[in-house]
Amino acid sequence: MRRSRCVLMSVLLMIADGLIVKGPSGPLVAPLGSSVVLSCSVDELLSVKDLEVEWRRTDSETLVHLYQDGESRTAAQQQDYQDRAHFFTDQIQHGNFSLRLDDLRAEDEGQYKCKVYIQQESGETVVQIKVNAERLLVSGSDQHISSSVGEDVTLSCSVDSHIPPGDFEEVSWKKTDEDIQVLLYQNNEAHSSNERYRDRVKLFPAEIHKGNFSLRLKSIRTEDKGVYMCKVFAGGLSANATVELERLAPGSIIKAAALLNQPHALHNAEA
Ligand SMILES: *[C@@H]1O[C@H](CO)[C@@H](O)[C@H](O)[C@H]1NC(C)=O
Ligand SMILES: *[C@@H]1O[C@H](CO)[C@@H](O)[C@H](O)[C@H]1NC(C)=O
Ligand SMILES: *[C@@H]1O[C@H](CO)[C@@H](O)[C@H](O)[C@H]1NC(C)=O
């Protein structure tokens, strides 16, 4: 009597549990631009017949990856994930349905559900991604640069985060007090369309891969006086640093002060 009740209970438990799908034990924390493996597996895979694995974001229901009828259905997944989500087809036979997400972006932060269907059974696990709180940090020059009209000056701007070179979407140098686009770096090329600056500005090509977008401004003129902002867009984030050129009279000294994104910095520099 006792034994049969026990058997009955375990049968009920098995039905209630369905397929047991395992995921990672905690949130995955990874830096911007890196790759993470979102794990999802079953202990024992008896058959791959009618196997379907669906990876979705839980917030938007966006389809990240779909494996159905023996193949990855790339046309069904959201476009942004087609190049960035890698499903290990060769691991399926081991009951491993993990997904690698490359080139991690700020907006990838969130929860991902791996839902596995095998014949009549199904089960799921949820994986959480946290993009490392390390923000995109851009810093300018924190020392004063002295130069005279007619000379050349370097306005510093460098990205402190570990971002792969290919991940810089755009870097813009603007003179903010006059709203002039001084230089724009896009698709690995720097352009300057403003007449005043066109032939006088350049980046340092050998430095770009280090995240150094410092600007060389040649043959300084009096009207160059003002505030310059370097704004960097990468991995879905943006950040800026500001440099001020001041006291620009013929033969005088130019002081370039970095404002380092601090609200009081401008004030201090003026003091
Ligand atoms: C599944 O495969 C991936 C890629 O080879 C691997 O990183 C992961 O550790 C595997 N997971 C399990 C549970 O075997
Ligand atoms: C960026 O490159 C310029 C030009 O080579 C150099 O003067 C500057 O020190 C570099 N900045 C950093 C942070 O490496
Ligand atoms: C520059 O950065 C500061 C602080 O990070 C931010 O508050 C400000 O909106 C940014 N400015 C622009 C024009 O992006």
129: nearest Cα among 35, 201, 200, 53: 35
Return the pLDDT at 85: 96
Return the pLDDT at 209: 87
46-92 pLDDT, tens digit each: 788 899 999 999 999 899 999 999 999 988 888 889 889 999 999 99
Substitution candidate for ligand 2 out of 147, 158, 201, 215 with most atoms within 8 A of CB: 158
Topology of domain 137-247 in CATH is: Immunoglobulin-like (2.60.40)
Residue 38 Cα, ligand 1 centroid: separation in angstroms? 9
- Phi-psi category of 220—alpha, beta or left, where left has phi over 0 and alpha has psi -120 to 50? beta
Return the pLDDT at 128: 94
Q: Once rounded to an integer, what is the mean pLDDT over residues 162-175? A: 84
pLDDT at 194 over 90: yes
Q: Once rounded to an integer, what is the mean pLDDT over residues 102-129? A: 93
pLDDT at 3 over 90: no
179-189 pLDDT, tens digit each: 999 999 999 89
Residue that wins the pLDDT comparison between 141 and 210: 210
Return the pLDDT at 202: 97
Return the pLDDT at 234: 84
Return the pLDDT at 78: 86
Return the pLDDT at 145: 55
pLDDT at 203 over 60: yes
d(Cα 96, Cα 257) in Å, to the nearest integer?
Answer: 55
Closest Cα to atom 7 of ligand 3: 261
What's the CATH code, domain 20-132? 2.60.40.10
Residue that wins the pLDDT comparison between 117 and 12: 117
Q: Is the CB of 214 under 6 A from ligand 2?
A: yes
Q: Is the CB of 240 under 6 A from ligand 3?
A: yes
Q: Is the CB of 161 under 6 A from ligand 3?
A: no
> Would you say the CATH fold of 137-247 matches that of 20-132?
yes
Q: Is the CB of 261 under 6 A from ligand 3?
A: yes
Substitution candidate for ligand 3 out of 161, 259, 261, 264 with most atoms within 8 A of CB: 261
pLDDT at 5 over 70: no
Residue 93 Cα, ligand 3 centroid: separation in angstroms? 50
Indicate the domain borders of the chain.
20-132, 137-247
